[in-house]
Amino acid sequence: MISKEKLNILISEEDMKKRIGEVAAQINRDYAGKNLLVVGILKGAILFYADLVRLLDMDVQFDFMTISSYGNATDSTGEVKIRKDLDTSIVGRDVLIVEDIVDTGLTLKNLKEVLSTRKPASLKICTMLDKPSRRRVEIRPDYCCFEIPDRFVIGCGLDYAQWGRQFKDIWYVRPEFIDTL
């Protein structure tokens, strides 16, 4: 557990709600009249996913994946290990991947390549947070709530050792405490 004395708010709950509404409005325009399959990446994206899909004004189907690319390391290897696969075929479907954060991009690039082989009609990415300063491969989310600096963040589904996911705001660990985690 990290004490809140080591944290500062990066994005408030109010700003998060407003921006999710704006992104949902764009998705509603882009997919008007379509049946969208919204794929949440567990566990981190679950709170963002729930907030987003409740604002979509179209027929949507839900599905989820659990993927791992970190193994025992602190940096992504980029090799996607699917721990829970889709329950739904995506052949010919419009698919929106909902992710909590795009960091190095390795995991998401690999996942997009895997899902593309399943022949969806379209495959786009929506992320709550994007950290392009850490990008190691060329990948850009189609929808993004916030671009953030290179900070360790928790809240709104993001965690440190399973702690902090439930926070309503996005918090970052103050630089002077990052080595104490």
Known catalytic residues?
103
Strands 81-84 and 36-42: unpaired
- Nearest CA-CA partner of 141 in 95, 109, 169: 109
DSSP secondary structure letter of residue 112: H
DSSP secondary structure letter of residue 113: H
Structure token pair of residue 96: 């929106």
Nearest-angstrom CA–CA distance, 82 and 34 = 28
